[in-house]
Amino acid sequence: MNLKEDIIRMTAPLSAEQQQEVLAFIQALPHTDTHRNASNSDSWRLYHILHNSVLVNDTQTALAFYHGVLGLPINPHRPTNMKYPGAWLDINAQQQLHLLELPNPDSRTHRPEHGGRDRHTALAVEHFDALLKRLEQAGIPHTTSQSGRAAVFCRDPDGNTLEFIGG
Protein backbone atom coordinates (compact mmCIF):
# COMPACT_ATOMS: atom_id res chain seq x y z
CA MET A 1 0.00 0.00 0.00
CA ASN A 2 1.08 3.55 -0.51
CA LEU A 3 0.83 6.40 1.96
CA LYS A 4 -2.45 7.76 0.54
CA GLU A 5 -4.13 4.33 0.76
CA ASP A 6 -2.83 3.88 4.32
CA ILE A 7 -4.20 7.26 5.40
CA ILE A 8 -7.59 6.69 3.80
CA ARG A 9 -7.85 3.26 5.49
CA MET A 10 -6.86 4.66 8.91
CA THR A 11 -9.20 7.63 8.60
CA ALA A 12 -12.18 5.63 7.30
CA PRO A 13 -14.46 6.85 10.14
CA LEU A 14 -13.91 10.45 8.95
CA SER A 15 -15.79 12.15 6.14
CA ALA A 16 -14.16 12.29 2.69
CA GLU A 17 -13.47 16.00 3.25
CA GLN A 18 -11.76 15.31 6.59
CA GLN A 19 -9.73 12.51 5.01
CA GLN A 20 -8.48 14.90 2.33
CA GLU A 21 -7.52 17.46 5.00
CA VAL A 22 -5.48 14.84 6.86
CA LEU A 23 -3.81 13.68 3.63
CA ALA A 24 -2.98 17.27 2.59
CA PHE A 25 -1.52 18.01 6.01
CA ILE A 26 0.68 14.90 6.05
CA GLN A 27 1.87 15.41 2.49
CA ALA A 28 2.91 18.96 3.40
CA LEU A 29 5.26 17.68 6.10
CA PRO A 30 8.90 17.71 4.96
CA HIS A 31 9.61 14.20 6.28
CA THR A 32 6.56 12.46 4.87
CA ASP A 33 7.22 8.84 3.93
CA THR A 34 10.93 8.96 4.92
CA HIS A 35 10.55 5.99 7.24
CA ARG A 36 9.14 3.85 4.41
CA ASN A 37 12.00 4.30 1.95
CA ALA A 38 14.33 1.40 2.74
CA SER A 39 16.67 2.23 -0.17
CA ASN A 40 17.57 5.64 1.26
CA SER A 41 20.54 5.46 3.66
CA ASP A 42 18.98 8.29 5.71
CA SER A 43 15.67 6.49 6.08
CA TRP A 44 14.43 4.82 9.21
CA ARG A 45 11.50 2.61 10.04
CA LEU A 46 9.57 1.86 13.20
CA TYR A 47 8.80 -1.82 13.22
CA HIS A 48 8.09 -2.96 16.76
CA ILE A 49 7.02 -1.70 20.18
CA LEU A 50 9.51 -2.97 22.76
CA HIS A 51 7.74 -1.98 25.95
CA ASN A 52 5.09 0.26 27.38
CA SER A 53 5.55 1.88 30.79
CA VAL A 54 2.59 2.01 33.14
CA LEU A 55 2.63 4.19 36.26
CA VAL A 56 1.43 2.39 39.37
CA ASN A 57 1.12 3.50 42.99
CA ASP A 58 2.12 0.14 44.47
CA THR A 59 4.13 -2.51 42.61
CA GLN A 60 2.73 -5.45 44.61
CA THR A 61 -0.89 -4.39 44.01
CA ALA A 62 -0.14 -3.93 40.32
CA LEU A 63 1.56 -7.34 40.17
CA ALA A 64 -1.51 -8.93 41.76
CA PHE A 65 -3.47 -7.65 38.73
CA TYR A 66 -0.98 -7.97 35.85
CA HIS A 67 0.71 -11.19 36.99
CA GLY A 68 -1.99 -12.72 39.20
CA VAL A 69 -5.15 -11.96 37.21
CA LEU A 70 -3.82 -11.50 33.67
CA GLY A 71 -1.06 -14.08 34.02
CA LEU A 72 1.75 -12.00 32.50
CA PRO A 73 5.09 -13.57 33.49
CA ILE A 74 7.65 -11.48 35.37
CA ASN A 75 10.75 -11.06 33.23
CA PRO A 76 13.75 -12.30 35.27
CA HIS A 77 16.31 -10.74 32.90
CA ARG A 78 15.31 -7.08 33.20
CA PRO A 79 17.06 -4.82 35.72
CA THR A 80 15.71 -4.88 39.26
CA ASN A 81 18.24 -2.49 40.81
CA MET A 82 16.51 0.68 39.61
CA LYS A 83 16.29 3.75 41.85
CA TYR A 84 12.54 3.20 42.10
CA PRO A 85 10.34 0.13 42.58
CA GLY A 86 8.74 -1.56 39.62
CA ALA A 87 8.65 -4.72 37.56
CA TRP A 88 9.01 -5.94 33.98
CA LEU A 89 6.31 -8.24 32.63
CA ASP A 90 6.55 -10.18 29.37
CA ILE A 91 3.83 -9.92 26.77
CA ASN A 92 5.87 -12.11 24.42
CA ALA A 93 9.56 -12.74 23.71
CA GLN A 94 10.13 -9.21 22.38
CA GLN A 95 7.58 -7.02 24.17
CA GLN A 96 7.09 -6.07 27.81
CA LEU A 97 5.04 -3.93 30.14
CA HIS A 98 7.21 -1.94 32.54
CA LEU A 99 5.47 -1.16 35.81
CA LEU A 100 6.91 2.02 37.33
CA GLU A 101 6.05 2.76 40.94
CA LEU A 102 5.71 6.52 41.01
CA PRO A 103 3.01 8.86 42.19
CA ASN A 104 0.45 8.54 39.42
CA PRO A 105 -0.25 11.98 37.91
CA ASP A 106 -3.54 10.81 36.39
CA SER A 107 -6.57 11.72 38.38
CA ARG A 108 -9.16 8.99 38.65
CA THR A 109 -11.86 11.62 38.52
CA HIS A 110 -13.22 12.97 35.26
CA ARG A 111 -12.17 9.81 33.43
CA PRO A 112 -14.63 8.37 30.90
CA GLU A 113 -16.48 5.29 32.10
CA HIS A 114 -15.66 3.44 28.88
CA GLY A 115 -11.89 2.94 28.57
CA GLY A 116 -12.02 3.20 24.78
CA ARG A 117 -12.42 6.93 25.19
CA ASP A 118 -9.30 7.25 27.36
CA ARG A 119 -5.57 6.72 26.92
CA HIS A 120 -5.00 3.00 26.80
CA THR A 121 -2.66 0.18 25.92
CA ALA A 122 -4.12 -2.21 23.35
CA LEU A 123 -3.05 -5.84 23.45
CA ALA A 124 -3.90 -8.68 21.06
CA VAL A 125 -5.31 -11.73 22.83
CA GLU A 126 -5.68 -15.36 21.84
CA HIS A 127 -8.59 -17.19 23.49
CA PHE A 128 -10.58 -14.01 24.03
CA ASP A 129 -13.48 -15.80 25.78
CA ALA A 130 -11.08 -17.27 28.35
CA LEU A 131 -9.81 -13.76 29.15
CA LEU A 132 -13.38 -12.49 29.60
CA LYS A 133 -14.09 -15.37 31.97
CA ARG A 134 -10.92 -14.60 33.95
CA LEU A 135 -11.83 -10.90 34.27
CA GLU A 136 -15.34 -11.82 35.44
CA GLN A 137 -14.04 -14.37 37.96
CA ALA A 138 -11.66 -11.76 39.37
CA GLY A 139 -14.47 -9.19 39.61
CA ILE A 140 -12.72 -6.79 37.21
CA PRO A 141 -15.26 -4.36 35.70
CA HIS A 142 -14.99 -4.15 31.92
CA THR A 143 -16.84 -2.82 28.91
CA THR A 144 -17.01 -4.20 25.41
CA SER A 145 -16.03 -2.28 22.31
CA GLN A 146 -18.73 0.07 21.14
CA SER A 147 -17.85 -0.83 17.53
CA GLY A 148 -19.09 -4.39 18.01
CA ARG A 149 -15.69 -6.00 17.41
CA ALA A 150 -14.18 -8.56 19.78
CA ALA A 151 -12.56 -6.13 22.19
CA VAL A 152 -12.92 -5.39 25.88
CA PHE A 153 -11.64 -2.53 28.04
CA CYS A 154 -10.79 -2.60 31.74
CA ARG A 155 -8.73 -0.59 34.20
CA ASP A 156 -5.89 -1.77 36.41
CA PRO A 157 -5.92 -0.93 40.15
CA ASP A 158 -4.40 2.50 39.35
CA GLY A 159 -6.98 3.42 36.71
CA ASN A 160 -4.75 2.71 33.68
CA THR A 161 -6.88 1.45 30.79
CA LEU A 162 -6.13 -1.76 28.92
CA GLU A 163 -7.82 -2.86 25.72
CA PHE A 164 -7.79 -6.54 24.84
CA ILE A 165 -8.55 -7.39 21.21
CA GLY A 166 -9.49 -10.92 20.27
CA GLY A 167 -7.68 -12.38 17.31
pLDDT band at 6 (very low <50, low <70, confident <90, very high): low
Note the pLDDT of residue 13: 66
Q: In this predicted model, which residue has the larger pLDDT, 167 or 150?
A: 150
Considering the segment(s) 115-166 as one domain, its CATH architecture is Roll (3.10)
Instruction: Tell me the mean pLDDT in the region 53-73.
Output: 95
HSE-up of 49 (CA within 13 Å, CB side)? 13
Asked if pLDDT for residue 132 goes beyond 90, the answer is: yes
Contact 108, 159 (CB under 8 A): yes
Rounded distance between C-alpha atoms, residue 23 and residue 149, angstroms: 27
**Boundaries of every domain in the chain:** 3-36, 51-101, 115-166
Q: In this predicted model, which residue has the larger pLDDT, 5 or 109?
A: 109
**Overall CATH class of domain 51-101:** alpha beta
| C-alpha gyration radius of the chain | 19
**What global pTM score does this model have?**
0.70
